[in-house]
Structure 1
Amino acid sequence: MATIRDVARHVGVSPATVSRVINGVPGFSADTRERVEAAVAELGYEPDTLARGLRTMQSAVIGVLATAVSDALASQVMSGIESAARSRGYTVMLGRAGLGAEHAPSYLRSFKTYRAAGVVVISSAITGDMRRIAGARLPLMAVAIRNGDVFPSLAIDDEQAAYDGTRRLLELGHREIGLLAGDESSMLVNAPRERGYQHAMAEADAPTLVERGNSLYDSAPPALGRLLERAPRLSAVFALSDEMGAAAINELQRRGRRVPEDVSVLGFDNTRTSQHVHPALSTVAQPLERMGEQAVFGLLDGTWRSRIFEHRLIERGSTASAPSPAPSRKRNLP
């Protein structure tokens, strides 16, 4: 098996230069980079990431913990993570932590074994236990969730975003707006979004209608059914994830309700799911790929501070003005 010294001799450079090329570190010419990359391919050299980690106490690996909250959301964050990692010569090791992050401890121990440079936690809180298991040498960064002041996180202002989404539905003339919320135990994501909805509805002196799922597709139809039982004339649904929003559109149509003519539907996140349903789902967007990129750069550059990103409202075909009330029928007098 070829070694880094074999590659260096083949090209006529030092092993340090080969290492810098492989890890994407600047400081050499384009010609040198091309010759090193050609030699790596020709000789079949593969860097020993684990051995490098044992020597330097850090390997060219970024760990990722993804919960089961939304595969679509995690996928878009992962796109940003992988793009940023590749640009710095790092690879990504993914661990699926489960809906309640129950598998997080075992993955964190694996990341420690591989001397990962850091771990990005997608849409799940960094807990004290996770920090203890990771130890002092393994930095953690949460993405798409505000982790308070204790642990660093990259997120939007969920409460303001939900407030803005609700206000838009109110501006369209809707009064009976049902909320498809996430799991009540998800205090760091669901609770602020629900507060934003409650705030906007209270300002408009409109009734609040909340039913909960777990942010996943299959949880939305039964929750929507409960909303419709409580408010048969519901004219808008605000789903706090795109998966629940897409499910709401399909379930409303199954029940004979037109979207958006009878009922408008607004989602949250702007994942690819929002455009894989008809009509396309209006949504409150958060910059998922960008947050993934910035998480990696923050871990590698040692800038682990929390940051709030801007959200925006994207209006597509699933929202429209509230339907006009049916005209009252007057009985003709003789």
Structure 2
Amino acid sequence: MVTINDIAKKAGVAKSTVSRYLNNGSVSTQTREKIDKIIKETGYTPNTFARSLKAQKTNMLGVIIPRLNSSSTNEVLEGIDATARELGYQLIITNSDQNLERELENIQTLAIQKVEGIIMLARQITKQHIDLINQASLPFLFIGQKAGTIHSMIHQDYEAGKQIGEYALGLGHRHFLYVGVPEYDQAVGIDRKKGFLDTLKKEKSSEVEYIETTFSRTIAYEKALKFLPETKATYIVCATDNIAVAVLKAASELGYRVPEDFSLSGFGGYEATSYVTPTITTVSYPYKRLGEESVKKIDLLINKKTVPMLSELGNVLEVKESTKEYKES
């Protein structure tokens, strides 16, 4: 196996000169070209792991995800993985399984592993999170939720709720059912709903029912079997696309037609919304881009660059087959 000593001997330079070259240090153009040529001829590959240990850098990023069976999480991870590789980082990915204690344990575990920084796909942010992050003294980035004292990247969830509200009112609907999730989740449980409800307030004749479920498609489906026969809503808004898919399945089994009996929409832009009948109107979120941008931001923090405490990514309304104009019969 070719070593750094071999490269130095062939180039007729000191080992330290080759080391500077490998670390993008100051080396004359002539020497750089000579070393570059020898490396290509010999097929030498730097031992980045050994170099990182010597430099007390691991080039590792920690990532904490809330659950494994999530389409949005998978897209975010795809963006994180691709960009981390481009920037020379390896990943340690931990799953909290939507459990607060496991999230806190994961932060501690990653800090002990001496990762360069941590990215966390957050469901909720508690004082325990903040205290532990401050103790760890590592570059840290929340994505999906915002914390005033910790760097965060979020989607424009309030604006997404507003978009659906304006769209539904524009179709002539005035009686709505909002199927939401618990408010411990600021982005999905509060911001989306608030954007939607604030928009409906502009139309005095609008009425809104509210049903709370969980992120589980199974639980949402079981609840839908019960609330669909009771609602008089002409438009059902679901806090996530998974919930919308569950409601669509329940509607089909109960003999309801979408959008003839009621319009239906979700949030997320999950691929599943295009592979059901009818396809489901949704607000599409750039999850992969969120992952890509999160790595770029944590890299800046690791390198002690000044970055905004909060970054936001927009979203796009995608009108599909599950919604239609409402006309009095």
TM over 0.5: yes
Would you say the 8 A contact 1:70–1:243 is kept in 2? no
The 5 Å alignment of 1:83-94 reads: 83-94=82-93
Would you say the 8 A contact 1:4–1:15 is kept in 2? no
Instruction: Rate the CA distance shift 1:14–1:193 in 2: closer, same or farther, 3 A.
Output: same
Q: What secondary structure, in the 3-state scheme, does the structure 1 residue paired with 2:100 have? A: coil
C-alpha offsets along residues 72-121 of structure 1, whole Å, 9 cap, x if unaligned?
Answer: 11011111111210110111211111224331122222211222121111
Q: Equivalents in 2 of 1:63, 1:297: separation in Å?
A: 14
2:315 corresponds, among 302, 311, 324, to: 311
C-alpha offsets along residues 199-253 of structure 1, whole Å, 9 cap, x if unaligned?
Answer: 122222211111111123112123324432442x322211111111111111111
* Structure 2 unmatched runs, 5+: 12-16, 25-31, 302-306
Q: What secondary structure, in the 3-state scheme, does the structure 2 residue paired with 1:102 have? A: helix
Q: Equivalents in 1 of 2:110, 2:174: separation in Å?
A: 50
The 5 Å alignment of 1:1-334 reads: 5=4, 8=7, 14-18=18-22, 32=36, 35=40, 38-40=43-45, 47-48=48-49, 52=52, 55-68=54-67, 71-134=70-133, 135-145=135-145, 147-205=146-204, 206-231=206-231, 233-302=232-301, 303=307, 305-322=309-326, 324-326=327-329
Q: Equivalents in 2 of 1:156, 1:126: separation in Å?
A: 16
Instruction: Rate the CA distance shift 1:38–1:282 in 2: closer, same or farther, 3 A.
Output: farther
Q: TM-score, normalising length from structure 2? A: 0.82
Give the match for residue 29 of structure 2: none
Q: Equivalents in 2 of 1:99, 1:32: separation in Å?
A: 49
C-alpha offsets along residues 134-163 of structure 1, whole Å, 9 cap, x if unaligned?
Answer: 435312111122x14222211123222112
| Amino acid in structure 2 at the alignment position of 1:130 | H
Instruction: Rate the CA distance shift 1:254–1:32 in 2: closer, same or farther, 3 A.
Output: farther
Would you say the 8 A contact 1:218–1:247 is kept in 2? yes
Q: Equivalents in 1 of 2:241, 2:103: separation in Å?
A: 25
The percentage of counterpart residues that share the same residue type is 18
Q: Equivalents in 2 of 1:200, 1:73: separation in Å?
A: 26
Q: Equivalents in 2 of 1:291, 1:7: separation in Å?
A: 43
Instruction: Rate the CA distance shift 1:304–1:96 in 2: closer, same or farther, 3 A.
Output: farther
How far residue 11 of structure 1 moved from its aligned partner, in angstroms, is 8.5
Q: What secondary structure, in the 3-state scheme, does the structure 2 residue paired with 1:48 have? A: helix
Task: Count how many residue pairs are aligned between Structure 1 and Structure 2.
Answer: 309
| Amino acid in structure 1 at the alignment position of 2:294 | A
Instruction: Rate the CA distance shift 1:249–1:295 in 2: closer, same or farther, 3 A.
Output: same
Instruction: Rate the CA distance shift 1:141–1:222 in 2: closer, same or farther, 3 A.
Output: same
Instruction: Rate the CA distance shift 1:4–1:99 in 2: closer, same or farther, 3 A.
Output: farther
Q: TM-score, normalising length from structure 1? A: 0.81
Q: Equivalents in 2 of 1:195, 1:174: separation in Å?
A: 18
Q: Equivalents in 2 of 1:128, 1:263: separation in Å?
A: 42
Give the match for residue 23 of structure 1: none
What is the Cα-based RMSD across aligned positions, in Å?
Answer: 3.0
Q: Equivalents in 2 of 1:213, 1:120: separation in Å?
A: 28
Give the match for residue 24 of structure 1: none
Q: Equivalents in 2 of 1:104, 1:5: separation in Å?
A: 42
How far residue 277 of structure 1 moved from its aligned partner, in angstroms, is 2.3
* Structure 1 unmatched runs, 5+: 21-27, 327-334
Would you say the 8 A contact 1:240–1:267 is kept in 2? yes
| Amino acid in structure 2 at the alignment position of 1:311 | N
C-alpha offsets along residues 279-333 of structure 1, whole Å, 9 cap, x if unaligned?
Answer: 22211122211121111111111236211222221112222222x443xxxxxxx
